[in-house]
Amino acid sequence: MKHTDLTGKHAVVTGGASGIGEAIARTFAESGAVVSILDLDGGRASSTAAAISKSARGFACDVTDGASVAKAFEEATKDATVDILVNSAGVAHVGTLLSTTVDDLDRLYRVNVRGTYLAMKSAVEQMEKGKGGTILNMASIAATAGLPDRFAYSMTKGAVLSMTLSVARDYIGKKIRCNCISPARVHTPFVDGFVSKNYPGHEEEMFAKLSAAQPIGRMAEPSEIALLALYLCSDASGFVTGADYPIDGGFFRLR
């Protein structure tokens, strides 16, 4: 049996209807897991699940709302408890301290920090009563690097990293592992939309500039992030907890 075989595992992926979350959900399903996709867009969550696997399911979930998260987990775990949780739901923001409004800050906090907390809380409540489990949070290089114009986003991803370490420490005795991934820029529909909206007529030039920020000369593909997620959520990484894995095309050490 392959060490990354997830047969018999139930994986919950927040923000799994698109982008990195969708790639992770697809990769986990291909590795044998039963996947539950939780997304603000319930219809898209269901259609994505149907396209991924016959056993995959989609559920509407607002990760900022405790009642919505609790309901989604209750529905998703009627037949199986949570073995794996991936927190991929998140939002971005461009701005410095002075250009970031209080509303901006609160919006980023509600999704990226509160949302991660609420999903982990629902998962850990089940995991500590059972055989344990694995949690993977989506952080960012912004958590530990001083990126320009990313004040609020960096704040929230730093919090995700800190929460990862705390959960790993507090629940190691319950056989719950908790790690995070810190990607550099990933080529998702969000990036394409951001470039089109903010740089009309200069999309190709800006895309090249964003790609060159990584020494490797390109952005990551969602599937590459998904393969690292598969390792960290499988038995292959059974000795790994409390770790932050950069996947950055050389951003930190080769610039």
Where are the domains positioned within the chain?
A: 10-183+222-243, 187-219
Residue 191's pLDDT is what?
A: 87
Give the pLDDT of residue 199: 87
Catalytic residue among 153, 199, 231, 245: 153
| Cβ atoms of residues 242 and 209 within 8 Å | no
**What mean pLDDT comes out for the span 106-131?**
97
Rounded mean pLDDT, 184-196 = 89
Return the closest-CA partner of residue 119 out of 173, 170, 178, 57: 178
Q: Is the separation of the CB atoms in 34 and 41 below 8 Å?
A: no
Residue 1 pLDDT > 60, yes or no?
no
d(CA 70, CA 31): 27
Percent of the chain clearing pLDDT 90 (strictly above) = 91
User: pTM of this prediction?
Assistant: 0.95
Residue 245 known to be catalytic: no
**Residue whose C-alpha is closest to residue 156's, from 87, 57, 90, 251:** 90
Domain 10-183+222-243 has CATH 3.40.50.720: yes
Mean pLDDT of the chain: 96
The Cα 139–Cα 236 span in angstroms is: 21
- What are the Cα distances from residue 207, in Å, to 23, 198, 216? 21, 12, 15
The beta-carbon contacts of 62-71 under 8 Å, at least 24 apart in sequence, are 63/14, 63/15, 63/38, 63/89, 63/111, 63/114, 63/115, 63/116, 63/118, 63/119, 64/110, 64/111, 64/114, 64/115, 64/118, 65/118, 66/118, 69/38, 69/115, 69/118, 69/119, 69/122, 70/122
User: Which of 48-57, 78-87, 185-194, 212-221 is the least confident region?
Assistant: 185-194
Residue showing tokens 């996709």: 37
More confident residue, 255 or 173: 173
The residue-averaged pLDDT of 108-128 equals: 98
Task: For residue 168, give every residue at least 6 positions away whose Cβ sits within 8 Å of its Cβ, in sequence order, or none.
Answer: 177, 178, 179, 241, 242
Average pLDDT, stretch 226-251? 97
CA angle 237, 84, 153 (to 5 degrees): 90
